[in-house]
Chains A and B, each alone.
Chain A
Amino acid sequence: MADQGGSQHGIARTSRVRTDEQKKRDLERIARYRELEDQVRARAAEGDYSPAVFQLTSRLLRLNPEYYTIWNVRRRCLISGSFSRLSAGSSCSTACSTSSRTATTAPSSTSCSSSSSATTPPAPGPPTAGKSGTTAEPTPAAADPPEATESEPSEAETRDLATLQAELVFTIPLLLESPKCYWIWSYRLWLLQQAIARLRAPLARTVWEEELGLATKMLGKDRRNFHAWGYRRHVVARLESPSLRGGSMVEAEFAYTDRMIMSDLSNFSAWHSRSRLIPRLLAERGADEAARRAFLDKELQQIREALNVGPEDQSLWYYHQFLILNLVYPNKHPAMTPGFTLQDRVAYLRREIEEIKELLEDYADIQLIYEGLFEYTLYLCQLEGKKPKASERTDLVAWLGKLKQLDPMRRGRWADLEREHDLTEGGSDV
């Protein structure tokens, strides 16, 4: 039996030879599954979102967490059941929508921040008896989240918090089994939004802080999962937002990238996150020019140390290049080099080139080193507004020669570079 190969969300498909006994068992399972599914769909179609249906969704989702319709049924059950009633007058829009959407890592939805619109605060009375009709748009028309005017959380909030936490816990075993199932993550995000909508900021915050813990754990298991990094950024952004009475978490997040890099240098996402945090970090530190220069020095030294042990690693070269771009294009990247004169920039760039040349002592055949040297030497000429000197031209030709030798598949590209910068052997130049 040919193996179909491939995988669904990282879980490999295997073809198994089944005995008759196994086939019979599988048929029984299929029958039970279908029965369950029919029940849920039939009752939902009638508008039955009672606790019994809720329990059925638990069973069905354990068997098949990818069945997004059932997640929606579950949401409706919660809204018409366990969750306390919220009054109309929404200041939350699409953020709370339950229309099926993929768990985007950077949702464009607006945060449910307390708006200044005059809305009546929710009357936390008991939920109306009976089921809510299907006409109820499952948008928990959130008014302003309850302000902490009273010291004790209201009964409704306590109940909602318990419900939310129970639901979050429900998803955990499902996540462990299917860590890349978008619908589970989408449901979690919906629950987290509910926390903002229904709970006062400090309570909602605890829920989101736990989520950050979960994101950290996920990244601990798979440091290079860029979905997880995006999710983390989303959670951090929320925690920083006014709706959760947040402050800046830039320092903590920067320290986090430090730790991630320490455990695995080759991590595009961690270096990328780091580069994104730097402008805000320096702004918050109130760094003056001297402090910014010192910061740049430290970053350069660190990335050079990293390149010293991992010159074949592209993620490191990308970060180094980012730092170089700060030198070469200060308009686009003003954070670290304000107040640098042209001489300063040239000096820094020269030093970097010399340091990288030292790597060639022991790493004679690493392509990325030659590419780096080539690119940076051209940047140097660009900064100085001159064409390459004779010695520089010799270097460029030699490095290009090495690149042609190390990567013959890209000879077209090397040929282009050669022409573009007038580096053909024996070409005339001053």
Chain B
Amino acid sequence: MELLSDTLWDVVICGTGLQQSLLALALSRSGKKILHIDPNAFYGGGEAAFSLQDAESWVTRVSMGSGGLFASPSITKHEGVVGLSSSRAYSLALAPQLIHARSALLSQLVSSRAYRQVEFLAAGPSYIFKPSQDSQQPTLVRIPSTREEVFSTTDVSSKAKRLLMKFLKFVLEYEASPQLETWQPHADAPLTGFLQQEFNMDAELQTYIVTLTLSLDGNIRTKDGLAVIRRHLSSMGVYGPGFAAIYPKWGGLSEITQISCRAGAVGGAVYMLGTGIKETEIVDNEVKVQLTSGDTVKARMLVRASESVTRQTGISKLVAVISSPLSSMFQPIVEGAPRPAVAVIAFPAGSLFTAAGTGPGCPVYLSAHSSDTGECPVGQSVLYLTTLSTPDAKAILGRALESFIQATSQGEACQVLYQLQYEQRAGPDGFEVDGPVFTLGAPSPSLSFDDSTLSPVREAWKQVMGQAAVYPEYMVFDDREVVLDDDEAYDRW
């Protein structure tokens, strides 16, 4: 039997987070000698999905300091509350990101044929939370982003609707003249200012549009905002009427990591979980890696995730399981549309206040997942709340959860069965190369998958492949299995 240390590996990949897993997928037909390790006992790294028990183990580990970017985790189970099912009935996602139809990730999953192993669900409508006024209940209002939605919303005046339509049309062509000349002077200024100046939009309308961008600080720049909204608009209807984004069943990006590593294994890569790196040494442009398993291996290249934390503001997260299926949130949006499994609710800055009276200067986003996602049993829902890290963040997230339940409960009692809270600090962008060591930055934490996460993967692939890299073939594979042939029709009776 060949020992690990006998081989000169083409690449050792440490970690099975999204970027590392996609790299394994990209290399799965290359014939390269790949050793893919992960210090965790599970796949997925920072994008993993957990059963309740796995979540508890994770919280313990992170509390002990080996959580990478994650910090301050805690779990609150509500004692005496009947309804929490067995541990394996849940798959709580660390990266429950929506993937827009026009995202490059999807085209890569398609061209690499990996998409066949993922079940995608429709990610549905966006809502804005309107706090209670004059003793009225708080409500959730749909954010219109297509012509038909603008048509049917009763929340917006006729004049405002016309402004919205003009803006939506503008965005669809925003890279052409004369639109380009109109916004370029504002490119780095806040989008809200641009909306006010060029489209005469009031604060309420501005809020709608900024919420569509899912911007975490509510202060997105014009050029970024226009790009995100255009992607949303052009993604609308691509995979079916009424929705612009999709969501992988069974835990979001975690599922992508699973199938990518599987593809890597089928392609011959060696997988070792529960194995991390103790030490590395660069010798003659090769890297000697001492593993925690005791083995020392030699490789032409090492790909790993960065360990550093930057000073940028991180995010604060709350994952809550509630005892309601939230059926009204998950109705098909239009005739003939599939039932959405994910709905996004935004709490704009200023719509929430803690008991102390302090409010966040930045929005809170709540991504509601039905049991269709496989993340909880039927009759329950999983809520993923995100906001920028501030001293108040935890309290604000709790308030958002309460307000959401108030706005949607419609008289039925809805209990919070389980809560998982944690901080996710900011890591560096992009990647770093130091000879044979390739260090991946942190993937973008945005609520909708950011394609910028994909470029470092491609760079790593280029470096592994060296001269053999054929760029148009990146992530382009044929099916391994023979797909149903036309000939069947000729032979069948």
Q: Which residues of A pack against B, CB within 8 Å?
A: 25, 29, 32-33, 55, 58-59, 62-63, 217, 220-221, 259-260, 262-265, 305-306, 308-310, 358-359, 361-363
Contact = CB atoms under 8 A, between A and B. Distances in A.
B336 to A, nearest CB: 3
Contacts of B337: 263
A362 to B, nearest CB: 4
A63 B489 contact: yes
B2 interface: no
B57 interface: no
Interface string B144-185: 000110111000001101110110000000000000000000
B489 A263 contact: no
A59 B490 CA distance: 8
Contacts of B159: 361-362
Nearest to B169: A312
Given A29-B490, A220-B336, A265 B158 contact: no
Nearest to B144: A309
A166 to B, nearest CB: 15
Interface string B231-251: 000000000011000000000
A305 B241 CA distance: 21
B493 A309 contact: no
A308 B161 CA distance: 7
Given A263-B241, A265-B148, A310-B147, A359 B162 contact: yes
B18 to A, nearest CB: 34
B335 A259 contact: yes
Contact of A263 (B165, B336, B490, B492): B336
Contact of B490 (A32, A359, A361, A362): A32
A309 B335 contact: no
Given A305-B158, A306-B151, A310-B165, 16 more contacts: A25-B487, A63-B489, A63-B490, A220-B241, A220-B336, A259-B334, A263-B242, A263-B334, A263-B335, A263-B337, A305-B151, A308-B162, A309-B147, A309-B165, A362-B159, A362-B162
Contacts of A305: 151, 158
Interface of B: 147-148, 150-152, 158-159, 161-163, 165-166, 241-242, 334-337, 486-487, 489-490, 492-493
Contacts of A259: 334-335
Contacts of A310: 147, 151, 165
B487 A29 contact: yes
Given A310-B147, A362-B162, A363-B162, A59 B493 contact: yes
Nearest to A221: B336
A38 B114 CA distance: 44
Nearest to A260: B335
Contacts of A58: 493
A264 B148 CA distance: 6
Contacts of B165: 309-310
B487 to A, nearest CB: 7
A62 B489 CA distance: 7
B335 A220 contact: yes
B70 to A, nearest CB: 42
13 contacts: A25-B487, A29-B487, A62-B492, A63-B490, A262-B335, A263-B335, A263-B337, A264-B148, A265-B148, A305-B151, A310-B147, A310-B165, A361-B162
Contacts of B487: 25, 29
B186 to A, nearest CB: 21
A363 B163 CA distance: 10
A221 B335 CA distance: 10
Contacts of A359: 162
A309 B151 contact: yes
Nearest to A359: B162
A265 B151 contact: yes
B148 A263 contact: yes
Given A32-B490, A63-B489, A259-B335, A265 B162 contact: no
Contacts of A260: 335
Contacts of B161: 308-309
A265 B147 contact: yes
Shortest 5 CB-CB contacts between residues of A and residues of B: A220-B336, A263-B334, A362-B162, A259-B335, A263-B335
Which of A32, A262, A359: most chain B Cβ within 10 A? A262
Contact of B158 (A29, A55, A308): A308
A259 B487 CA distance: 42
Contacts of A265: 147-148, 151
A362 B198 CA distance: 13
Nearest to A302: B151
Contacts of A33: 490
Contact of B162 (A25, A29, A309): A309
A262 B490 CA distance: 44
Given A62-B489, A309-B150, A262 B163 contact: no
Contacts of A308: 151, 158, 161-162
A362 B335 CA distance: 31
A393 B337 CA distance: 49
A305 B147 CA distance: 11
A65 B241 CA distance: 30
A169 to B, nearest CB: 16
Contact of A55 (B147, B335, B336, B493): B493
Which of B150, B162, B493: most chain A Cβ within 10 A? B162
Nearest to B162: A362
Which of B150, B151, B165, B492: most chain A Cβ within 10 A? B151
Nearest to B158: A308
Contacts of A264: 148, 241
Given A221-B336, A362-B163, A262 B152 contact: yes
A63 to B, nearest CB: 6
A55 B492 CA distance: 11
Nearest to A355: B158
Contacts of B151: 262, 265, 305-306, 308-310
Contacts of B162: 308-309, 359, 361-363
Contacts of B241: 220, 263-264
Given A361-B162, A362-B159, A363-B162, A262 B489 contact: no
B147 A362 contact: no
Contacts of A220: 241, 335-336
Contacts of B242: 263
A61 to B, nearest CB: 11
A310 to B, nearest CB: 6
Nearest to B154: A305
Contacts of A309: 147, 150-151, 161-162, 165
